[in-house]
Structure 1
C-alpha cells in the first residue's frame, strides 16, 4: 500500500523501480520503505547549529531503533532560516531545522520574545529559564498557528555588536547604523539606546557594511566567524546584549504522518539535542573570540555603558511583553533565580 508523506521522502523508490525493470522483483510482503527526513542549515559542519542537528539524527535513530534516513542540507543549500520555517509550516522541502525566533514573528508576535535583548542576566539564568520550560505558551502558539513544533532549544551564544569603527560607550554608538533581526522588538530596543537600526537579510550584511550602507551588526561568535563579518567590521563592542535561543523545529505536517514510535523518538531526541547544542555553543563562544583576536582578526572592546544600555531597553521589553500578552512569561523570567 502506497502511503503519502508530506515533506517525507522515500529513499527506496529508485531501487523499487529498478527491481520492477529487472523483472518485477518486489519487496517482501509487509516490508516498509525507510522514511527519509530532510533538515537544513545555513552553516557548515563546524557550526553549533549543524552539530545540534547531527546529534538529533543520532538520537532519533537510537530511540526509534528502526530504519530512518536523514539528509541534512548545509551551507544555505535550501535558502535561509526564514525560508526553512516557511517550508516546515507548509510541510514541504524541510522537515527539521534550527531557526531564530525572529523568523517566526509572521505567525506569532510573541515568538521573538524568546530571545529578546537584555532578557537574561547571564548564562546560568538563561539555562534555568529554559530548563523550566518557561516558553511553553509561546511554543504552543507557534504549533497552533504555524504548525511547527519547537522540540528543543539550542543556542547559547552571547551577542555583541561588530562595527567598522571602535566604540566603548553610549555616546560612541549614537546614531550608529546597525543591522538587526526582522522582529520589531530588536528595532525598538536598539532605537531606545540611540542607534539607527535597520533590517537587512543576513546574507547581505557583509556587503552592506563593505559598501557603507550600514556600519555595524550584532551576532554571537559563531556567526561572526562563519560569515567573516570581522573582515569588514573588526571591532567587537562587548555589549553582551543578548544570549541566543535557537529552537530546533520540526514540521507539524510531517510529524502527523509519522508512526507513533518515531514521533516519540523525535520529541525525546529534540529536547536532548537542544541541550547538547546549548552546551556546545556556550562553551565554544569565548574560545572562538579568543582565537580570532589572537590571530588579529578582531579586537574586543570593553563597553562601559552596558548597565545604562539595559536601563534604557528594560521599559521597551516590558511594554512589548504587555503588548503581545507575554507579561506572565516576563514576570516568571525575572523571578527565576
Structure 2
C-alpha cells in the first residue's frame, strides 16, 4: 500500500496568519518526505474556510523544498477552470518538479465557488467532463483542434510548455456521484474515493460501480486502481491515550461544523471511530481497521490528513513517525500496490 498526506488548507485559527498557515503546509510536505510518505496532496477550494485556491503555486514551492515525494492535487476542480490555463500551469509544475506530479480531478464542492466561476448544478458535471477531455488532449498533443460548449474552440492550437511526463496519471475524485466514477472508468483512469464524511457503504457502492463500469468499457479488471481517504488520524501506543489526546481535536471540529451551519454525520468521537473512516487508536487497531476497509474497497493507496489539526508540533511528528514505524510496514507487506507514476 502507498500512503499520501493531503491538506485542503483550512484556515480556522485566528491567531495564525495566512503566511504562517502556508508555511505550515510546506513544512508538513518536507516532513512527509523525510518520514517516507509516498505523496503529498494539496486541495483546491475557492471559499471559506479554505485558502487552497491556487494548488499549482503551493505545489511549486513544495517541489522546490523536496526531491522525492510525489505531488498530488486533491482535487483539481476542472469544472471551474479553463482547461488550457490549467494545462499550462500543471505542465509547468510537472517540469519544475522533475515529473513528480499526479492529478486528482473533480468538479469541486460549494455554492460560493460555483458563483465565483458562474457554474451551475445543472452544468457542473458536463463542464468537468468537457474540461477533462480537452485537458487530456492538450497533455498528449502539442497541437490540438477541438470544439466544445463552455470555452472557445481551438484550431491547430499550440500549447507550451510541453509536460515532462507523457502521459500523466490522472485520478478521478469521487464522493457522491456516479458521473465522476463513470468518467474514470471510461478512460481507464484510477479512482480516488473521498471516504471522509459518511459511513463506508456509500463509498464502497461507488467503487463497486467503478469496477463494473471499468469492465463495461472493456478494460482488464486487474488493472483497475483505487485510492481512498480517511477522516482523521492519530495513533498512540494505547487506544486510551489516542482517544484522550484526539477528543478535544474532534470536539473542536464539531464546533467548527456548527459555526458553518453543517450537521456532522458522527456526533461523537466513539461513533466516528466505530462507523467512520477516522483512524484513532493503537497501531494494531488502525492496521485492523484499514484491512477492513481494504476488504470492501480493494484500494492500494490511502491518505492521511497532513495537518496537525490542534496537535502540538511534537505530537504531530510523533504520531506520523509511529505510523511509519509501526503501521505502514505491515500494510505495505500485506496489501500489494503498484508503483505511483514515475517510479
- Which TM-score tier does this pair reach, normalised by the shorter chain? under 0.3
- TM normalised by structure 2 equals 0.23
Return the index of the structure with the highest Cα Rg: 1
Identify, as 1 or 2, the structure richer in strand.
1
- TM normalised by structure 1 equals 0.23
Larger relative contact order, structure 1 or 2 (CA cutoff 8 Å, min sep 6): 1
